[in-house]
Amino acid sequence: MAKITPLFETPDTTEEMKSYKEKLFRHKAGIGVRSLICIVAVAGLVFGMWSWSRFKTYGGYEVLSSNERTDTLNTQYAEYNGKILKYSRDGISCVNLRNEALWSQTYNMQMPILDVCQNSVVVADMQGNEAYVFDEEGLRTQITTLLPIQRVSVSSQGVTAMLLSDSSASWICLYDDEGEKLTEARCRLSETGQPLDVGISSDGRKVAVSYLQIQGGSSASCIVFYNFGSVGGNFVDKIVASKVYEDQLIPRIEYMGDSICAAVSDRGIIYYEGKEIPEEKAVVEEAAEIRSVFTGTEHVGIVVEGAEKEGARYEVHLYDTSGNLVLNQGTNLAYSQVKMSGGDLILFNESECEIYSRQGILRYTGNFSGTIADIYKGSGLRKYILVFSDRTEEIKLK
């Protein structure tokens, strides 16, 4: 039998292969460690920059864009889903951050009042008979009433609640998004008192009204809840709950979603909660005099005078939907307006401004070159929209 001669000898590589694997493992482990160190270093750098930016107070800014505007002197402004509503006695328009009109509507009102809920907007003539309902596309419907309009509130679907009054009674009327009257409830002034404010839930089914009652020389406020859904049909006049508060004035009431309602009095805040029949859940009492109130879907803000914080003239108390205090911020700014925008607390007057984060970190303090009409949080880090008497600017803090 022929002998097969191998072309080359195959050595015993067991030890060499073991050594090679160990070297390969150490090499890969070294790469992994170096990569991990780089990742940690980069993450630390990013976190450090983020923390520095978050806790830094800015005193200057750069103008990213500027657009002239020719609004009338009585023009008012409201934030609307990242856009701006401008309304006056002559009409209303929705503009983007470049001051470009997305839609507009002319009218003739003596005292326009506005309410916004998510994508729905209503503007009505207080003591007049006209109201207009809008969405992001523009006008949805026009509503004409026989009695004078006292207050108005809109739901997310465009269902509008109106408080109408004559000499002997007030009416709570609901209109659908086509302007058709859905239902109404009559309230005799001799029984309920003088209506002060109305609020509708975002689902358009529940309405809360605050009434002022005067009996025997003393005053009281009565909160009445109406349910215009199937549940309300089982109650007289659709009233499912009510409560009287002695020696209190409750000029403002507002739904914060479908089931939570906040009534702001001259003493503090009363929270109600309930999907169908609201019940009192929390009461916030303010010891100091209340100077200003501002609300949103997630908060109620109260500014009090005679602050307890050392060196502060005012205190801003921000409460969540359960009545928990989430911010107590002192300030000495002689503000004319206070608001929440994009999660920031903004206080300003015609020339000065202070901006705080929700955690109370001062983001900006300083002046602007012009007469400030309004300020909004922009759609970017440290970006804000300034509305002046003659222009609109997008700025970035620096």
User: Which of 279, 196, 185, 181 shows the shortest CA–CA distance to 232?
Assistant: 185
pLDDT at 311: 80
Average pLDDT of the residues in 3-25: 58
Average pLDDT of the residues in 259-287: 96
Sole residue written with tokens 């005012």: 314
- Residue type, position 354, single letter: E
pLDDT at 98: 76
Confidence of residue 82 (pLDDT cuts 50, 70, 90): confident
User: Which of 387, 348, 388 shows the shortest CA–CA distance to 364?
Assistant: 348
Average pLDDT of the residues in 353-364: 94
Mean pLDDT across the chain: 87
Average pLDDT of the residues in 232-237: 91
DSSP 233-286: GGSGGGEEEEEEEET----EEEE-SSSEEEEE-SSEEEEEE-SSS-EEEEEEE-
Helix (H) or strand (E) holding 54: helix 14-55
Determine if residue 308 is left, alpha or beta; phi over 0 gives left, psi from -120 to 50 gives alpha, anything else beta.
alpha
pLDDT at 386: 92
pLDDT at 325 over 50: yes
pLDDT tens digits, residue range 131-185? 999 999 999 999 999 999 999 999 999 999 999 988 778 899 999 999 999 988 8
Confidence of residue 7 (pLDDT cuts 50, 70, 90): very low
User: Which of 183, 188, 197 shows the shortest CA–CA distance to 170?
Assistant: 188
pLDDT at 72 over 90: no
pLDDT at 123: 98
d(CA 107, CA 112): 10
Confidence of residue 32 (pLDDT cuts 50, 70, 90): low
pLDDT at 316: 96
Confidence of residue 14 (pLDDT cuts 50, 70, 90): low
Asked if residue 122 lies in contact with residue 83, where contact means CB atoms within 8 angstroms, the answer is no
Is 386 exposed, middle or buried, given 0-12, 13-18 or 19+ CB atoms closer than 10 A?
buried
CA angle 160, 162, 163 (to 5 degrees): 160
Confidence of residue 198 (pLDDT cuts 50, 70, 90): very high
Residues 6+ apart with CB under 8 A from 50: none
pLDDT tens digits, residue range 114-123? 999 999 999 9
pLDDT at 16 over 90: no
pLDDT at 49 over 50: no
Confidence of residue 48 (pLDDT cuts 50, 70, 90): very low
303: helix, strand or coil: strand
pLDDT tens digits, residue range 122-133? 999 999 999 999
Confidence of residue 12 (pLDDT cuts 50, 70, 90): low
